[in-house]
Amino acid sequence: MANTSAICTSFKQDLLNGLHAFGTTVVRGATTKDSFKFALYLTTATIGAATTAYSATNEVTSANYTAGGLGVTNATAPTTSGTTAYWTPSANAAWTTVTFTTDCALLYNDTAAGKNSVGSYTFSSQTVTAGNFTLTMPVNAAGTALLQIA
């Protein structure tokens, strides 16, 4: 089975339980916003809608890549347009001088005790050899944002 792009089913349930706080301010009982990370996975992994949490299984490994991935720069508050709510990290995610092959990134809540998954994002297989790798974030707008709920 291959990696697939999807909003993780468990994330939808987590939303209903009020687990994630993407905003730049917090409106629930917690006093701080949550921290999110991108973890990269091998092309042989099976990350997708059924993924419930971050796991190191089939995660890429490399010098200059830390298990668990890279923190997401989150200075953008979720917003809406019409009936669509959306959010995109405020900066690209970038790794320098790494060597690996990947086709999938998992966005997950690093603050949550279970490291709960948010979404898996696939792209064409990328091989990097002692080079830089960047996940370029899309425009934060309805129809283009990284995370959209319509």
What residues does each domain of the chain span? 6-25+33-149
Per DSSP (E only), the strands in the chain are 6-7, 36-41, 70-71, 79-81, 84-87, 93-109, 117-135, 147-149
Global pTM?
A: 0.86
pLDDT in tens, 115-126: 999 999 999 999
* Stretch 107-130: mean pLDDT: 95
pLDDT in tens, 21-78: 777 776 666 667 789 999 999 999 999 999 999 999 999 999 999 999 999 998 888 8
Q: How far apart are CA 104 and CA 5, in angstroms?
A: 8
Q: How far apart are CA 112 and CA 78, in angstroms?
A: 19
